[in-house]
Each structure stands twice: as C-alpha cells, then as structure tokens.
Structure 1
Amino acid sequence: MASTDRMKAPKTLYSSCLSAYTAVRSNMSEEVTRNLPLNIQFDVYYKLYEDGEVCQLTALFSELPIISRLLRANNKRLQLIKSFQAVMAHNNRVAEQLKKAFIHNCENAVSVNADYNVAIELGLRLGSFLSEAGWFLESEEILRWCVVLLDSMLDRFPTEIKYMRLKLEVLHKLLHAQTVYSLFEQASGTHHKASDLVKQMASVNQAPNLAGLYAEFSVLYFFRSQYDEAYRWSNAALQELVPNLPVGVVIDVLRQASKACVVKRKFQRAELLIKQAVARAIDTYGFSHPKYADTLLDFGFYLLNYDSISHSVTVYQAALDARKKIFRELNLLVAVANEDLAYALYVHEYSSGHFSDAKANAERAIETMSKILPADHLLLASSNRVLALILEEMAIDMPAGMPSNEASKNMLERAESLHKTALRLTKAAFGEQNVQTAKHYGNLGRLYQSMKKYDEAEEMHLKAIQIKEMLLGQEDYEVALSLGHLASLYNYHMHHHRKAEELYLRSIAIGHKLFGPGYSGLEYDYRGLLHVYNELEDAQKVADYHDMIRRWRALREAQNRSDRPVLMNLEPVKPIEEIISKFKSIE
C-alpha cells in the first residue's frame, strides 16, 4: 500500500521555487523581492503568511508602498485579506499606520499643489480594501481625504465627468464605512453629497448605474430603523439592476432588498431575493469568501424573523465559521457574526433554558468589540442587549435557595446595567422615537418584571408599545411582542386579567396574520390565555384553548417533519430580469 506521503499530490515547480526563495530571502536585500513581477512578489509574501512568519509580514505590510503595490494584484483579494488580518491580529495598529502614511502623502500633495490623481487612486483602493477587511474607521478617514482631493480637482475642472464618477464611487464606499461603523451623522452628510452629485450628473445625462449606491442608501436607513425609507431605496436599487452589472453589486442589492422586505414583513419577496443572493455567492465565489458569509448572515436574518429558528441557527453558524476562516477572531465582522448567532441561539433555546452556547457567543462578541471599538460605541449596545437577555433567562432558571439566589440577583443586576447602557447609547444615536430605543424599553420592561419591579416594568412596556405603534403601525410583529410581554405582566403579576386577555388576543391576531397558525410565538400567548381563563373561572374558554394548543402543536410537528436543510434547498441562479418580474408579481 502506498504511504500517505506518496499519495499526496507533488508540489509544483513554482511552489518549490517559492519555498526555496522564502527560505533564503532573509539573506538578501528586500529590494530584490520588491523588484519581482507583482504576482510573484505577492506569492512570496503570501507564502510567509502560510509559513506563519507574521512578524516579517507585519513589518512589510506596515509600509504603504508595499500595500499599494499588492492591492494591484489581480484575483488575489481573498489571500490579501487573510494575510492582512493575520498581521492585524499580531499588531492591530498596522491599519492606523497605513492610514497615517496615506494622510501624510495627501498633506504633502496639497502643500505643493501636486497632481492628486495618484493619491486618489491609492486612497480608493486602500480605503475599499480596509472596509472589506473589517477596519472601517481607518477606511473612513482615508476615503474622506479622497473626497477632499476630488473636491479640489472639481474646483479646477468643474465639468470633468471622470472626476464626478470617481467622486461618486468614493462617496459610495465612504457611506458604507460610515454606516457600518455607526457614524450616522457623517453618513447623512455623505448621503446628501452623493444625492446632489447624482442630480448634477443626471442633468448632463451622465449618471452611471445607481443600483449599488441606492442599496447603500437603503442600508443607511435600515441601520437607523427607518424601514419605510430602507424599503423604498431597496426597490429603487432593484429597478437599476441590469444583466451586465458586476455580480458583487447584484448580490449586495438582492440581500439588502431582502432585509428591507423582512422588516416590512414581505416574507415571500424576502425569500426570493435572499435565496438568489446566496446562490449567486456560491456560484461565483464558493464557500470560503466574505461575500458568501455576508449573504448567509442576511439569510439567517430572514429565517429568524420568519420563525424558522432552528434553520437560522444553522445558517448563522455557517456564516460565523466562514468569517472566522477568513478573518480569525480579532475582527469586527467576526464579532457581529458571533452576536447574530448568540441571539439566534437565545431564541432557539428559550424554552429549553440551555443558554451556555448563546452566552459564550455573546461574550466573545463583546470581548472582540471591546478590543477594537471605543468604550461607548453604538455597536456595543446591541451586543450588550443580547447578553443581558441571556443573563436574565439564566437567572430566572436558577433553582431557588442560596447561593443560587445571590447568583441570580447578581445576574439580573448585571443585565440591568447592560440594558441601561444599551438604551443610553441608542437614545444618544437615534433619539426617543426609534424602533431600537423601543426595543430597549421593552427589554427593560421584561427585566423589571423578573426583578419584581412591576410598576417600572409596566412603564417600560407601555413606552415600547407607544413608540412601536407610532413608527410601525398597530399590526407589526414588534408590536405583537410588546403586547405579549405587557399581557404577561398583567396576567401573572399585576392580576389585571381582562387587560391581559385583550392584549393576548391582539398579539395572537398579529401572529396569525403574519406567520399563520403554526407560528411558534403563539404558544406563549395561548398558555397566557389559559392562565387568564383559569383565573376568571371560564371553563369553556379553558377547554377551547387546551384544544387550540393541541392543534398548534400538531401543526408545528408537521412543519418540522417537512423541513429540509435550508442550504440544500436553494434554487439555481436565475436571470435578473426573471427575478425582478417575479418580485413584482408577489404581493
């Protein structure tokens, strides 16, 4: 039988040469490597990454001229992201060093009134790369300098279309970095600049395809929980899709439009779009690419909101695994995936009480974000909220008696601190009248109910309902959640059983309308009504709801039996015209 070594594929002559070169390169001048053809230079540095020579790579990647050249290598973006992230994990100041070097070059160019074209080209490439790699703050500052330089060029050549197009591309990338990093005031300014520039270019019949830019407008409104505007801009982006667009742009439009459909509870449209986005990502990039991971996170978002909770956990786990293979641990994109998985696990295990995996993922998200972000960054608000929800349930599930009582009290107090911090950060960013603010009020209401602070709990729930109804209408899923939580407070603790009955019935009606009779959340409302009618001694209603729960359970079991693995149930890639036509046909 052949040995394992002999069964391995032999190394190519090229790879053997790379290995030999990297073994002796320390004995020669670095200029030799820098003067190699670009693809060979890139492969030498990537071999250092594969060999674990991160210290050498860190020194090299700290030099702006080297990174500038490597960014020109064709079809090697993923390898550059992986090796750069290894450097950032070793020394997370490298992105800042590159930013400072770039800004220094810009300042020198301005001081001598030089040609800015080279600096603008480099800034666009470097800023775009850092954004893709998850280092948004450094990307944002580089791209802002590009706007400064382009404004100067347009002052000299106000009708030059190539500078208008270049500026619009920079603004598009800048808006993405600002939005993802929660720089919403700056993002609003960038949005207005881009809108004005589009109008200016349209006035001379020079507007480019705007699908990607409109999708980015939708992302901004989505992050700010302005869902009507997010949906409007995502539809505008869809109308701009044409067959010859880059596949990455098409994927981004499809997945953002899907998310906008989810929050507007247009689930059939959302499913169509996100499944096509995932299929395109697999077809074009495979299973080890950032774009694939991006689409999985948005697919998980659809599944979780559409009550396919166990499938959402599977998809979120796949997204996290994909991002970790590319970015390792110390990266904001990985932290966000950890948080999304933590919340899905929390929802999935809500009835079982097995929250250890959810807690571990939430804590990893916070730990990573705390190393990268300022202490009061808005992105920490969401992770704090998820961990607080998990801690509350763990505290409730603890057995009675000391020392469990003390541990439970400490968990609840920590959850309260996390929720209050999240509320403070969210109100500072978005104000009182915002869906995210309402969610934090609702979370505090549930927590105060667990802490036996019933008047405070009622106040928080009523605030949440008032804000959600004003922003989302009276029949939204978020409203139903808050109605159910207030009903629980009235039912089990404040003994306002008729009020609880009214709220439960409203919540059930919304759940039926959005998700049908097999919706998982109906169980809690049904059981709440059972308690209400037991307290009111209404025997007929008690019998009715026992029967209702039996029928609901049968529906859930049938649904679970019919479920297929979601990532094995994707349709093939279809022409974009067919997708848009089908999208329009769905009510």
Structure 2
Amino acid sequence: MLNFKMSKTKNPKSLYNLCINIAVVDCLTLCKFCKKDFRILPNNVLFDFYYKMYIEDGLWLLGLEYSELEVFSRMLKVKHNRTKLLKSFQSLIKRDSNIMYELIKGYAKLKLHPETINFKTIELGLQLGTFFNEGGWYSYAIQVLDYVEEMCRQMEQTTEVLCKLLECYQKRLQAEATFCMFKEAEKTYNLANLLVIELKQLNALPNLSSLYALFSALFFVRSEYDEAYSWAKNSLLLLKDNLPTRIIVEVLRQASKSCVVKRRFDQAGLLIRQAVSLASKLYKTDEHPSYSDTLIDYGFFLLNFDSIQQSVKVYEKALSIRKDVFDSDNIHVAIGYEDLAYALYVNEYSSGRFNAASENIEAAIKIFERILPKDHLMLASAKRVKALILEEIALDLRDLTNPCSQEELLAESERLHKSALALSHAAFGERNVQTAKHYGNLGRLYQSMMEYEEAEKMHLRAIAIKEELLGPDDYEVALSIGHLASLYNYHMKRHRDAEKLYKRSIEINLRLFGDSYSGLEYDYRGLINVYTELHDIETMLHYTQLMREWKCKRDVQVPIKIYPDSVQPLHVVIQKFFDLC
C-alpha cells in the first residue's frame, strides 16, 4: 500500500498526483487492489484515486467500487468535485453498468431494518436523490426518494423528521415535474402543502423559497402561467441573503422563466442576469452543469425577448458544457440539442437555411429515443420542433425534378404534429396553452398543404383556447392571429378579415416588444399585400413607409451584452422586481 503522507517538497501537488498515478497503474495493470487498504483513505484522496481510474479507462473496476452504496456515499460528500463525479458516473451508465440498480437496491435494504433508519440514513437518501436529479436520471431519483418518504414515515414524527420529509417532497417534485410525470407531481405537491400547514402549526417552518420556486416550476411545465408567476413572486418574497447561493440562483431562474411567459421582460431580464452573474461566480468555471442550466434559462429569455442571435450563442455554450460533462445518451444533452435547434430554426426562419437546426433536432431525438419511452412528452416536444423544420424545408424545396419530396416532407410533418397533439391532449387536456400551440402548428401545416378550411379550423381553435387562458392581448394570441391573417390574406382572399387581424396583431406586439420587434415584418408585409389587393394605394404606401422605418430601427439596434458581469445586492434586485409589478 502506498503511503500518501506528504513530505516537505517544492511541489507537493506533483508528488501527490504521482502517487495517485502509480496506485492506479498498479491496480489496473498489476491487479494490486486491496479494498480494505484503499478505503482507509480520506474521502477527497479516495475520490482522486477513483477519478484517475476513470481517466485511465478502468471503468470495470470503478463500476464495482461505485456499485457499493457505502463507497459511493463517501463520494457524494466530496462537493468540490461534483462535475467530475457526474462525468465518470455517466460513463459507467453508458458502459451498460448496472450501477443504478445496485445503488438503489443497497438503499432499499436499509428500510427493511428499522434499527438502521435514522437521520444519517435519511440524509444519504436525500443526497442520492439530489445527485440523480443533477444527472437527469429522474426515474431513479424518484425511486430513492420514495424510499426516503417511507423511512421518514416509520420514524417518530418530530419537527426534524417532518422537515426532512418536506425536503424529500421538494426533491421528488423536482424530478416528477421535470420528467413530465404530472399526476405524480400533483400528488407530491398536495402532500408538500399539507406538510407546510402542519409545520406552520408547530412553528417549525424552514425557509420555503426553494419549495415555492418548485411549485412555480410545476405550473410552468403545465403551462398554467398565472399560477407559475404567483408562486414565483412568493418564492422571491422569502429569498434571503443567508440562503446558499445555489438556491438563490435556482429561485431567480425559475422566477425569470415565469416572467417570460407572462411577457414581463423587464422583470425577467433583471432576475436572469443576476442569476447568470451569481452562477458564474459561484461555480468559478464555465464547465459546471448547473451553470449550463442557468444559461439554458438565459437563452429562453433572450429568444423570447427577440434577441435571437444572442440566444443561439448562449444555447451553444450551454450545450457545449453539457456535452463535455455527460457526453451523450443523457437527457440534459438532448434538451440542450432541442433548445438550440429551435433557436436556430427561429434565427434562420427568413433565410431558409435549416441544416444546423435539422442536425441538432435529429441529435436530440436520437438520444430521447434511446433513453425515453416512445410516448414520452419530452420526445413529443422534440418531434414538434422537427415537424416545424421539415415544413419549412418542404416549402423551400427548389428541386422540381422530384416533386414528391415536398409532399413526403409535409406528410411526415403532419404525422409528427398529430402525434405531439395527441400526447399533449392526454397530458394536459383541451384547455391548455401547449395543446393550443399544437393546433396552431397544424393550422400552419394545413395552410402549406393547401387544405385551407382545415387550416382555418385549427387556427380558430388555437385562438379560442389561448384567449380563454391568457386573455385577448397576449403574445401567443397575437401569434395565432397573425397566422390566421396570413391564411385569409394569401390563400382564402378574405382581405378585410385579414386586415383586422393584422392590425390587432401589430397592436399587441407593439405594446409588448416595441417598434423594432422582428415579428412586425410579417404583419407589415401582410398589410402591404392586403391593400395592394384592395387597390388602396394610399394605405399600402403608408405601411410600406412603416416597413422601411422598422427596417432602419432593426439595422441600428445595438446588440445587448450577452454575459452580464455585475452582481447587485439581493435586496436591491428584489425591490426592483416588485417595483415593476
């Protein structure tokens, strides 16, 4: 056994690394591995030994070690090497290791022996569930946290145990909501609320800012935006400087997303820029997966705020981090590909160059198909993006020697859109924004397929649902109105109807985004065509001039600085947020 005690030297780090290297070489090439001797090492030294084993392609031995819950629980305590642990663990999964099964089986055995159930056991389950959540292995996180709940229920229901149970519900809700397990998430949400009431009666409430942010996240993924925004505000009210920076970042991220879908961009920008600045300082490296999570939400803000090119750059950076940590066959990487594909699709919408968007969405779908059930909502979301891209490629086809290509692409797009609609309907029902979006997508597709009456039905259904849920002046309503106006204008020759819809769309977009918003181009072009067809030259020239003015404003726009570099005091940010309400 090597002696790791450091002697006085000019470069103790090099000596330490040399010792680690020699130990790993001995284990892998000379088969000199004695568990008993190595496991007496401190956690951080043992971690370095295991990570070097991963670097040297000793996954067969690393898998055996990490499959033992006692060993892996020690690795979970080495916080400063979390990224390396996620990276090596993902490699074990990719190698078809049964490591997940062994760890969960090891933890499940603990609940069979009541004498072993204590706070240490509960904390281990929470740490394991947290790690699985971080890696995107949500179904495994849920299994572990189910066991944690059982153990908490078996213990005396002290305030300390109830607080641990609430933490368990919080982590499980994160997994269920993110993994689109909405029925299970609703149950956990209700249990958590009941427990909050019980703890309040006992005067033992912990800080609920993080929990309320997860409540907001649940309503966000269910497209119930008013509730998401309300819970986000509640979470911000409870946010304190003495909370861990990681929690502050998570709360700010979720609150920003809730503001984006409510089109409260001043509030959203304030929060997400603070989150990005805090995350960059907290993780001190742009290679941490949690930093990529923050960038994904920042990209979401930029894309919706009409800073499309900047959003592409941010999504590219986030995906690069995720690929470096998780390589492939991981849900975080697939989501990164999908988000980037959609941003590229929007960015190149007017150019017709969809190769990069197509490549990224295909990469996302391939990963989802390998790791998800075929009817999973995440896979349906990716296929929706693919359908949008296929439709545009079909419309831009110039190869007249193969007239069937366009029909085949549109037919494939229709199949994907219908599949996504069916899954959305099953998950959310008819009265949901996501379901309405799918109707709108089908409306655009049928317009491309020259099935105009069917297209009108889809657009009207989308508008009705969106108006009922979001009100008549929401961006989503304007989007669907603009699509219906296009149908009336260019295909059904109902120019007066198109005129009213275009003007309504312009009014909404001007109020939400201002007079340099990119989407105004389509409305202005539409009205120019309407008045040309109606032989109203004076009004046509008026909108032609507005179009020129719009283009000038777009050309002189100063790009926003992508990465913010200043951190404001938290109380200042919170005060500014509520001043904007």
Counterpart CA distance in 2 for 1:309 and 1:191 is 35
Counterpart CA distance in 2 for 1:262 and 1:219 is 13
Amino acid at match of 1:18: I
Post-superposition shift, 1:400? 5.0
Counterpart CA distance in 1 for 2:542 and 2:288 is 52
Q: 1:58·1:91 contact (CA, 8 Å) conserved in 2?
A: no
The counterpart of 2:75, out of the listed 63, 66, 70, is 70
What aligned pairs does 1:449-488 form with structure 2 within 5 A after superposition? 449-488=447-486
Q: Tell me which residue corresponds to 1:354.
A: 353
* Residue range with higher mean Cα deviation, 64-73 or 460-469: 64-73
Q: Tell me which residue corresponds to 2:93.
A: 88
Amino acid at match of 1:134: G
Distance 1:27 1:426, change over 3 A: same
Q: Tell me which residue corresponds to 1:5.
A: none
TM-score by length of 2: 0.95
What aligned pairs does 1:21-60 form with structure 2 within 5 A after superposition? 21-25=23-27, 26-60=31-65
Counterpart CA distance in 2 for 1:376 and 1:273 is 35
Q: Tell me which residue corresponds to 2:578.
A: 584
What aligned pairs does 1:89-128 form with structure 2 within 5 A after superposition? 89-91=94-96, 93-106=98-111, 108-109=112-113, 115-128=117-130
Is the partner of 2:491 in helix, strand or coil? helix
Percent of paired sites with the same residue: 47
Q: Tell me which residue corresponds to 1:4.
A: none
Counterpart CA distance in 2 for 1:377 and 1:116 is 37
Describe the superposition over 1:23-68 as per-residue Cα deviations: whole angstroms up to 9, x where unpaired: 1122232332223222221111011122232233223223323212
Amino acid at match of 1:576: L
5+ residue gaps, structure 1, are: 1-8
Q: 1:219·1:256 contact (CA, 8 Å) conserved in 2?
A: yes
Report the RMSD for the aligned CA atoms in angstroms: 1.5
Describe the superposition over 1:402-437 as per-residue Cα deviations: whole angstroms up to 9, x where unpaired: 31x212111111111111111111111100000000
Q: 1:285·1:292 contact (CA, 8 Å) conserved in 2?
A: yes
What aligned pairs does 1:6-21 form with structure 2 within 5 A after superposition? 12-21=14-23
Is the partner of 2:113 in helix, strand or coil? helix
Q: Tell me which residue corresponds to 1:285.
A: 283
Is the partner of 1:125 in helix, strand or coil? helix
Amino acid at match of 2:559: D
TM-score by length of 1: 0.94
Task: Please say if 1:422 is aligned against 2:394.
Answer: no
Q: Tell me which residue corresponds to 2:223.
A: 225
5+ residue gaps, structure 2, are: 1-10
Counterpart CA distance in 2 for 1:52 and 1:40 is 19
Q: Tell me which residue corresponds to 1:144.
A: 146
Is the partner of 2:240 in helix, strand or coil? coil
Task: Please say if 1:544 is aligned against 2:542.
Answer: yes
The counterpart of 1:274, out of the listed 248, 267, 272, is 272
The counterpart of 1:163, out of the listed 146, 161, 164, is 161
What aligned pairs does 1:384-463 form with structure 2 within 5 A after superposition? 384-399=383-398, 401-403=400-402, 405-463=403-461
Q: 2:233·2:255 contact (CA, 8 Å) conserved in 1?
A: yes
Q: 2:110·2:116 contact (CA, 8 Å) conserved in 1?
A: no
What aligned pairs does 1:201-212 form with structure 2 within 5 A after superposition? 201-212=199-210
Q: Tell me which residue corresponds to 2:137.
A: 135
Is the partner of 1:481 in helix, strand or coil? helix
Q: 1:109·1:116 contact (CA, 8 Å) conserved in 2?
A: no
Amino acid at match of 1:219: A
Q: 1:294·1:319 contact (CA, 8 Å) conserved in 2?
A: yes
What aligned pairs does 1:555-574 form with structure 2 within 5 A after superposition? 555-559=553-557, 562-567=558-563, 570-574=564-568
Q: 1:88·1:94 contact (CA, 8 Å) conserved in 2?
A: yes
Counterpart CA distance in 2 for 1:522 and 1:100 is 57
Describe the superposition over 1:198-224 as per-residue Cα deviations: whole angstroms up to 9, x where unpaired: 111111211011110000000000000
Post-superposition shift, 1:133? 1.1
Q: Tell me which residue corresponds to 1:300.
A: 299
Q: 2:462·2:480 contact (CA, 8 Å) conserved in 1?
A: yes
Distance 1:67 1:184, change over 3 A: same
Distance 1:205 1:17, change over 3 A: same
Q: Tell me which residue corresponds to 2:183.
A: 185
Post-superposition shift, 1:565? 3.8
Post-superposition shift, 1:358? 0.4
The counterpart of 2:513, out of the listed 506, 512, 515, is 515
